[in-house]
Copies of this chain bind each other. A is one copy, B any other.
Amino acid sequence: MKSLLLIGQSNMAGRGFTHEVPPIYNEKIMMLRNGRWQMMTEPIHFDRPVAGVGLAASFAEAWCKDNEGEKIGLIPCAEGGSAIDEWSLDGTLFRHAMNEAKFAMEDSELVGILWHQGESDSQDGKYKEYYEKILRIFNEIRRELSVPNIPFIIGGLGDYLGKVAFGAGCVEYQLINEELQKYAQGNENCYYVTAKGLTSNPDGIHINAMSQRIFGIRYYEAYRKKEHIYEPLTNEKELVDKCHNRMNTSSEKTYIALERFTLGKISYEELMKAFS
């Protein structure tokens, strides 16, 4: 099995409203819980009670189309609101994420790292030291997990920032994006993904569910082609539709029925019918 480390702040954790997009159930996509793998359901992260749709589900769904017969596991380690300094090498978040990744790597091969962070550093001139900080962190992740060459996919911050509600304070998000691009361009096996055109929840800071699906497709395109994605993809909405319209297998249907029964949404008789 292959695996991906998900790391950064809330827009990697995912805050898209689950009711705004069709769910993705795919028996080839797993997520880490208590150090073990189980079939992915969203939210993949559990960093906050407000966790929702992130970019990893559509990334993984697109990955599965190109890797038939293989499984991909998602390692959720993003933390809502975390500034880059909170990811310092001796800090809890960093050490915990490395631990989680090592549990995952006991029975999977880490093939990529998906990073999204920077909103919490988009003010007060923090961009000036941002490059040096991510350089140190990314180098250490590669060293700590012994993955010198796997792709690091780094998404930019959305253009909806710096305007309303909780996003209003992120006035220097473009300067952070410049640092992220500089890093991706100047370091091997590292690719930048634009957030152009993505839109937010009413809070003005969190990427909404449909935009997260699109973002995941862009991240995957960067991963697949090993190149920077500076512009929206012409067919990205079509690719999201493909994620949403895939027919579920019988074991996925069984999983969904069991989940609904356990949540009290269907009766035991209805569950038994679903099994027959």
Contact = CB atoms under 8 A, between A and B. Distances in A.
B268 A202 contact: yes
Given A38-B48, A103-B92, A263 B165 contact: no
How many chain copies? 2
Given A34-B77, A35-B96, 6 more contacts: A17-B263, A34-B47, A95-B103, A99-B99, A164-B268, A203-B268
Nearest to A49: B41
A106 interface: yes
A131 interface: no
A67 B262 CA distance: 36
A264 B203 CA distance: 8
A221 interface: no
A36 interface: yes
Given A46-B46, A99-B99, A268-B165, A34 B263 contact: no
A48 to B, nearest CB: 7
A204 to B, nearest CB: 8
Interface residues of A, number: 36
A134 interface: no
B264 A17 contact: yes
Contacts of A34: 47, 77, 79, 92-93, 96-97
20 contacts: A33-B46, A33-B79, A34-B79, A34-B96, A35-B95, A35-B99, A36-B79, A36-B93, A36-B96, A41-B49, A50-B262, A92-B103, A92-B106, A96-B103, A164-B268, A201-B262, A201-B264, A202-B261, A202-B264, A203-B268
A32 to B, nearest CB: 10
Contacts of A28: none
Interface in A137-165: 164-165
A116 interface: no
Interface in A172-217: 201-203, 206
Nearest to A41: B49
Contacts of A47: 33-34
